[in-house]
A = this chain, B = another copy of it.
Amino acid sequence: MQNIQTYINTHKDRFLNELIELLKIPSISADSTYKNEVIKTAEAVKTQLEQAGCDTVEICKTKGFPIVYGEKMIDKNLPTVLVYGHYDVQPPDPLNLWNSPPFEPVIKETDSHPEGAIFARGACDDKGQMYMHVKALEFMTKTKQLPCNVKFMIEGEEEVGSENLGDFVKANREKLSNDVILISDTGMIAKDTPSITTGLRGLSYVEVEVTGPNRDLHSGLYGGAVANPINVLAKMIASLHDENNHITIPGFYDKVEILSEAERAEMAKAPFSLEAYKKALDIDAVYGEAGYTTNERNSIRPTLDVNGIWGGYTGEGAKTVIASKAYAKISMRLVPHQDWKEITQLFKSHFESIAPKGVTVKVTPHHGGQGYVTPIDCIGYQAASKAYKSTFGKTPIPQRSGGSIPIVSLFEKELKSKTILMGFGLDSDAIHSPNEHFGIFNYLKGIETIPYFYKYFTELSKQK
């Protein structure tokens, strides 16, 4: 790829400043108070795609937040890459744990990022990684090295389950037609160990409500005589795992993909230090399903976690009350072959069935998505592998991720093409946590690597 490093060195300050401007807009899709900021972000993305060289860019309305679509078509006979990303971000709370305001980006050096990292909500997930593709396009168009057609689909509801993306994709199969889908919304093993994510977990996210007495009660007068919704909710949640941390929902494991010992042995080769892992999290022990390693627990095995719980008096001091209601947000990470809608139904039926007399239980599904696996013999994977080799000097390691990008399986179903997950973030980048950040090295390396993917994918396509 001609003079890409020169181009990046010449423009890297601008590349950083443009991203910082984008990060200043609090596009929190989960919180309706930020509605206008989310829409403002979509408009900013449109402007940047136009400046990067897209011929047409439109902001496509949905029932929720809009999807930014852009394209640069150079030749119908050449392959087409569809880039997917999202411009919305996770809520930043707990705010008090941020060392600098989540929407006032700052650059600081860290142990893993001696060249500096941008600290802001969305820095890595996904504004930073999405914007690498915009800048890669800029390089390819400005230096006349774009080898194929490119389409962008950047949505604003990924952090709330991409509720309207499915309808958009189904309604625009022709417009979105492509030969491969490229996404940077995952991580890599380490700065010197590139990896490509070949598996994603599915997700089922529900909210539960336990109602006891019709009003809050004095715990002295009623304590011990009526079912306390918080105690009951705790009992019900506790019962969802057995003593081996297996999930107790009947039928939950029926369709779980069972990996061969050979595959598990291959996975086990990925560099991993349990001591470093525990030290990084400041925990004295890991915890999880019996019979599996830490890397297996968070990738090839399904899990159930409470993401939030609340009920009763949570203010300062003490209040001797029995709450009328208690709530929890619960999510299950699913593995290939588990159907998220079926699992959601299994959870609902089971959770309602274990409610004791004296309370009523309501289960409300939030959203979900299927798991996904990328075959390493497809040309998309091959092209990505060669691209990393060119810029890192190393062949990337295929790895299963514990995370979910629910729409990947939807793309395969509706658009009949494979998705390649080229992630440049690190596990230590604290996505979804306070002090999320993205390494400048990773950001620029992504911009450098992506054009090689276009090059090799176009070449390999011709050889077919």
Chain A interfacial positions (CB closer than 8 Å to B):
29-32, 90-91, 93-94, 97, 159-161, 187, 201, 203, 205, 207, 212-228, 230-231, 233-235, 237-239, 241, 281-289, 294-295, 297-298, 301-303, 305-323, 326-329, 331, 333, 356-359, 366-367, 401-404, 427, 430-435
Known: A201-B220, A309-B310. 10 other contacts (CB 8 A): A31-B316, A32-B316, A213-B283, A217-B281, A234-B235, A234-B309, A235-B237, A306-B312, A307-B320, A309-B326
A289 and B224 contact, Cβ closer than 8 Å, known pairs A160-B318, A234-B306, A434-B215? yes
The distance in angstroms between the C-alpha atoms of A205 and B320, with both chains bound, is 8
8 contacts between A and B (CB under 8 A): A30-B319, A91-B319, A161-B318, A220-B402, A223-B402, A227-B285, A235-B238, A308-B311
**Nearest CB on B from A232, distance (A):** 8
Q: Is the CB of A403 within 8 A of B227?
A: no
Complex CA gap A168/B44 in Å reads 65
The answer on a CB contact under 8 Å between A30 and B316 is yes
Copies of this chain, whole number: 2
Cβ contact of A312, chosen from B282, B322, B329, cutoff 8 A: B329
Given contacts A223-B303, A317-B30, A317-B366, contact A213 B308 (CB under 8 A): no
Check if B319 sits within 8 Å of A90, measured CB to CB.
yes
| A237 cross-chain contacts in B, Cβ below 8 A | 230-231, 234-235, 238
- Complex CA distance for A30 and B318, rounded to whole angstroms: 7
Residue of B nearest to A222 (CB): B298
Contact between A315 and B93, CB atoms less than 8 A apart: yes
B residues less than 8 Å from A224 (CB atoms): 288-289, 297-298, 301-303, 305, 333, 402
Q: Which of A224, A301, A305, A320 has the most CB of B within 10 A?
A: A224
Bound Cα distance from A243 to B327, whole angstroms = 23
**Contact with A366, one of B306, B309, B318, B403 (Cβ below 8 angstroms):** B318
Within 8 Å CB of A435, what residues of B? Answer: 215
Contact of A323 among B159, B286, B308 (CB under 8 A): B308
For A283, the closest partner residue in chain B by CB is: B358
Nearest Cβ distance between residue A197 and chain B, in whole angstroms?
11
- The verdict on A404 contacting B220 (CB below 8 Å), with A238-B238, A283-B213, A312-B306 known, is yes
